Structure formats: C-alpha cells, structure tokens
Structure 1
C-alpha cells in the first residue's frame, strides 16, 4: 500500500440529530488528513440532513434517500467511496483524534488487512462507564471464540478485503459486522493487528437497542455462527474468560493509578 493512502469513513444515519455533530467533528478533527467522509442518511425526518449540510465540502458526499437498514447504507457508502482503507462510524459514536493515523500506520508498515483498537463505552452525556480492550488473539483462537473481541468503531480494513469478503450481508439486521469479520477470518492468509490504544468511544443510550432487539441480535449471532460453520470448541469458555480477564485487569490498573 502506498504512503498516505486515502481513507474512506462512512457514517450511516437515520434521525440522528442528537449526536451527529459530535460524530462528524470526531472525523474532521483526525490528526490524519487524507480522509474521504461520506454521510449516508436514510431519508431522516429530523434535522440530520441540515446538520450534514452545515459542514459543506468537509463532508465529501452526503447521500439522503430511503434505504433498507444500516448495513445497506454502509454498503451504499462504500460503493460511493474511493479509499484504499475503509471504516464506518455510527452516528452516535466518536473517534479519538489519532485513530486514523494509527490505523494507517498498521496498513502501510505491517501490511495488515484489518486492524482494531481499544474502546471506551460512554453514556448519553459522554461520561465514561466502561473500557473494553481489544484482544490480539491468534487466528485459530479467534475462530474458536465465536465472536469478535473488539468494538466495531475501532476497526478498519482494506478495500481489497471488503471486496474479497463481499461486503456486509444485508440479510442481517444487527450482526452483519460480526458476520463480515468472521468471513474475513475464514479467508486464507488474512493478516490483522491490534492497536493497543483507545481509539474510539461507543455510546450507550436510551435510544439504543431494546430488550427485544437484544434477543433478536442473539438469534442472528447464532445463525451467523451456524452459517459460517464456526467451530464449537471446548476452548471457547476458556478463551472468553481470558478476554474478560484482560479487560478486568486493565480496569484494576486504572483504578490503582487513581488512588496512588
């Protein structure tokens, strides 16, 4: 990959006026500047489009038309994009200023096809509630785990990988991202990297998924694992415990720093 590659960031949004400005600002304030930013709106009825329009040419493309859900919007945005590197950021999440720069370093220096970082969970007022550390497991252990051990906003991938995988499966409403990354892991020779820094914030708020949606998400996840013939390894509980331990040990270290 060439130095200073173009990075395409896609934000799918529908009636997202409450947090959209903070999302947009987090992209526009990146330390790395060679970014193509595409906003894909699903024909919102609030002020979403007006907010996007305020930023003028800072947003490379603003698409507003009915769609068939978030993953349809993301696929649409990717098709309209030109970057060698692709990522998407939902309209209530934010990037930390160095995320794109750190990701580009992985792609250009280590020739990876996917990279991911650590994530901070925040509430509706942007107050931190939890930290999740992405875990750099081996390829075989990731397949055995049965889920992706990182938060979606911290991930980026190459366009060539996106094309090889075939984009996001729009038959999934909730877990097409998990399905996408698992399909990527099944490809021979896929190289990925963990950026051991906090690179994004994932927002948890009342407008998020309901209990009913959470149940539907669980069913979709089970369907994805079956479809991909994910190994039902006896190691899965142990690997899951390891991932949780890594996150808890990180939290303990943070608390100790506060009291010393």
Structure 2
C-alpha cells in the first residue's frame, strides 16, 4: 500500500498541530533512485487501552509518504475509545483486529503472522515514527543488505518537549550479550529473514520480551547497521510500562534466560564478576564516553570483539 497523504486522512483533533497532525513526510516516487522497487516494510502496533496516544502513533506511520507499507494493528480488546480511533483509519490498514489476547508479546506475534514485507518493525501504541523514517530505513536496508538496523530515538515529554536523544551506542552487541542496556525497538528495523531465523517473541515474557528477542537476534546476526539517524520518538509518561516493571524485568530475564550455574568454581566466579557494577560502569559510562569522542573507533572495536559485521552510518 502507498501511504496516504495528509489531505486523505481524517482531520486531526482540535488544537493538535505539527508532526504528525498537520505536517507529513514528502511523498516518495514509485521506485528508488536506482529504479528498483522500494522494499515492503511491515509495521505492527500492539494496542490495549491506549486511546490517549494511539492516534498519534497511527498517523506517524501512515504519513511516511512511503510507497510500499504494510500496517497491522492488533488490539487486545480496548474499552477506552482506542477501537473507535483505529476504525477511523481502517481504510489504510492492511489488517486490524480487536480481541482479547495473552499480552503484548502475543499481540506482536499475531501481527507478524500477517506480515509479508522484507523489513519489519513494531511501534507500540504510544510510540511515534519520526518524519521520513521509513525511507531512511529502506535506503540503509538496500545499501548494506542489512539484517538489523539500529537507529536513534528522541525521548519526549507529554508536552512535546524533547528530554534527550538516545545515543546509538546503547544498541551495541555487548550490552545485549551480557543482558545490560537496551535497544530501542521502535528505532530498530530487522529483516523478515532474520525474524524467521530467530523465531517469535517469547510469550512467557510480558516485560523483557524485546530484550530477549534482540539478544537472540544479535547471537546469530551477521550484519548490524548502526545509524545516527533518528527513527522514532518515545513518549515519557507516568503510565509507561517500563517505568513500573524493573523487578519484573529482572525476574523474567533471570528466571527464563539465565543458564544454570556451572559446576566449575572458576567459571561461576567469572559469571558473578560479569554481573557486577564494574561491568555496568564499563558499558554505561566508559564506552558511551569513548563513543562520543571517537565513534568510528568504538564501533570498529565492537566489530573486532564480536566477530560481527558492524556497519556504521555516521
């Protein structure tokens, strides 16, 4: 599906202006600059009682000006008006449903079962795609034959002001390999082939399914593309799931993914040291400082340390 124009969509609520209410991404030509077809991008939005935010999410996806979009919304049976908002935009949705599900990870898996694109992404119902994010991701995907594209995101307040921009370093391989740090799922795109290889999200998890998913991806991916381009905006608000679930986060990763303790005393000691605050200091303080001063050197080091082909768009 070609993305609709601003004039084709329902008018925004009164008083809402700017992106994605009264502005839109430029409409792209039918083919890429080299004459090739734009890769189909499949985006899934899981939703449950996010009527306050979901319209902004939907418009940010639909107003990308992209010629080959597949947009799927899986709602878990919202009762706060979110379904009425989804219905306003159903003409431009590839598929949508509102029915009870087993949680966010289950909803995302249901959405990807409908996907037929070459490049995947999911946007939660309080996330916002940045202007022209899809065209940028598609260009990187084609240029580098990318399996996993990690971009940046802006953290913003309810009033719309930016708090900060997540650094691309947060998406390094070591953070995930050692269960530390985060990858911005809303600012990351992954190939359909990679998704098929690593399998669905773990539906036993309700908080750390994204960390687990990208850990599995990074354990088998051959090519990671890190870009300084901004792909998304994350809304910081009091009801945000990640603000309320730190203990549950730690429990899920520890209970479901930590390997059993080794009988080897030395190995157990090394595992314990790897989970200390010293390790956290190195990843959270030292490496970001180095990345800011010498980004290319930092990513080249990751390339050598991990054995992965890490491509940088800096």
Q: Which has the higher contact order (CA 8 A, sep 6+)?
A: 1
CA distance in 2 between counterparts of 1:99 and 1:51 reads: 23
Aligned ranges for residues 4-83 of structure 1 at < 5 Å? 4-83=38-117
Alignment match, 1:237 = 281
Residue number among 253, 256, 274 corresponding to 1:221 in the alignment:
253
Q: Is the 8 A contact 1:135 1:149 kept in 2?
A: no
SS at match of 1:197: strand
Residue number among 234, 237, 245 corresponding to 1:202 in the alignment:
234
The Cα of 1:98 is off from its aligned counterpart by 1.9
SS at match of 1:43: coil
Alignment match, 1:176 = 209
Residue number among 189, 193, 196 corresponding to 1:156 in the alignment:
189
Q: 1:201 to 1:211 in 2, by over 3 A?
A: closer
Moved more, 57-66 or 144-153: 144-153
Alignment match, 1:258 = none
> TM-score, structure 2 length as denominator?
0.71
SS at match of 1:135: helix
The Cα of 1:156 is off from its aligned counterpart by 0.9
Q: 1:218 to 1:58 in 2, by over 3 A?
A: same
Q: Are residues 1:104 and 2:138 paired? A: yes
CA distance in 1 between counterparts of 2:79 and 2:287 reads: 41
CA distance in 2 between counterparts of 1:9 and 1:25 reads: 13
Coordinate RMSD, CA, aligned: 2.6
Q: Is the 8 A contact 2:153 2:166 kept in 1?
A: yes
| Consecutive unaligned residues in structure 1, runs of 5 or more | 250-260
> TM-score, structure 1 length as denominator?
0.84
SS at match of 1:39: strand
Q: Is the 8 A contact 1:118 1:150 kept in 2?
A: no
Q: 1:59 to 1:211 in 2, by over 3 A?
A: closer
The Cα of 1:171 is off from its aligned counterpart by 0.7
Q: 1:149 to 1:245 in 2, by over 3 A?
A: farther
Q: How many residues align?
A: 245
Q: 1:95 to 1:210 in 2, by over 3 A?
A: closer
Q: 1:21 to 1:247 in 2, by over 3 A?
A: farther
The Cα of 1:16 is off from its aligned counterpart by 1.0
Q: 1:22 to 1:137 in 2, by over 3 A?
A: closer
Q: Highest CA radius of gyration, 1 or 2? A: 2
CA distance in 2 between counterparts of 1:132 and 1:73 reads: 26
| Consecutive unaligned residues in structure 2, runs of 5 or more | 1-35, 262-270, 294-314
Runs of 4+ residues deviating >4 angstroms: 136-139, 142-145, 233-236, 246-249
